[in-house]
């Protein structure tokens, strides 16, 4: 069974641009979460989608948005990029999104904003 895949793996953008990142969960998994990882702040929760609905959202500005499609694939979008948005963006999936299910992470998309 294929793991969580994320595309692209690396991305360079300039300030003010927008970016869309893609995540394909493990087949059959319906819960997809997004995290931002930086050296200073560590792993921070962005949002979670389950059955095409946003179930929870972290403390990030409205420039960060996401969506989930009927096949459970998810995208996140960051508009008006800032230098501080440079980070590793991780996607993780769970089967039903229940507490005691194992969450599987993808390899991440490393975004550099210049």
Partner 1 sequence: GQQLNQSPQSMFIQEGEDVSMNCTSSSIFNTWLWYKQDPGEGPVLLIALYKAGELTSNGRLTAQFGITRKDSFLNISASIPSDVGIYFCAGLWNYGGSQGNLIFGKGTKLSVKP
Contact by Cβ (8 Å): 35, 44:
yes
Give the residue with the Cβ less far from partner 1, 72 or 108: 108
Least Å from the CB of residue 12 to partner 1: 17
Least Å from the CB of residue 23 to partner 1: 11
CA 95 remoteness from chain centre: 16
Give residues in contact with partner 1 (CB under 8 A).
4, 31, 33, 42-45, 47-48, 55-58, 90, 92, 94, 96-100, 102-108
Radius of gyration of the chain (CA): 13
Give the residue with the Cβ less far from partner 1, 18 or 112: 112
Least Å from the CB of residue 70 to partner 1: 20
**3-state secondary structure at position 32:** strand
CA dihedral 98, 104, 106, 108 (to 10 degrees): 70
Give the residue with the Cβ less far from partner 1, 70 or 100: 100
């Amino acid at each position: 069974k294929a793991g969580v895949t994320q595309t692209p793996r690396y991305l360079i953008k300039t300030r003010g641009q927008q970016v869309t990142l893609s995540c394909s969960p493990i087949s059959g998994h319906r819960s997809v979460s997004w995290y931002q990882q930086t050296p200073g702040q560590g792993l921070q929760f962005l949002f979670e989608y389950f059955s095409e609905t946003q179930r929870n959202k972290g403390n990030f500005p409205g420039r960060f948005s996401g969506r989930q499609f009927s096949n459970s694939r998810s995208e996140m979008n960051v508009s008006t990029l800032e230098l501080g948005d440079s980070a590793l963006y991780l996607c993780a999936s769970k089967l039903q999104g229940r507490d005691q299910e194992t969450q599987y992470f993808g390899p991440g998309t490393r975004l550099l904003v210049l």
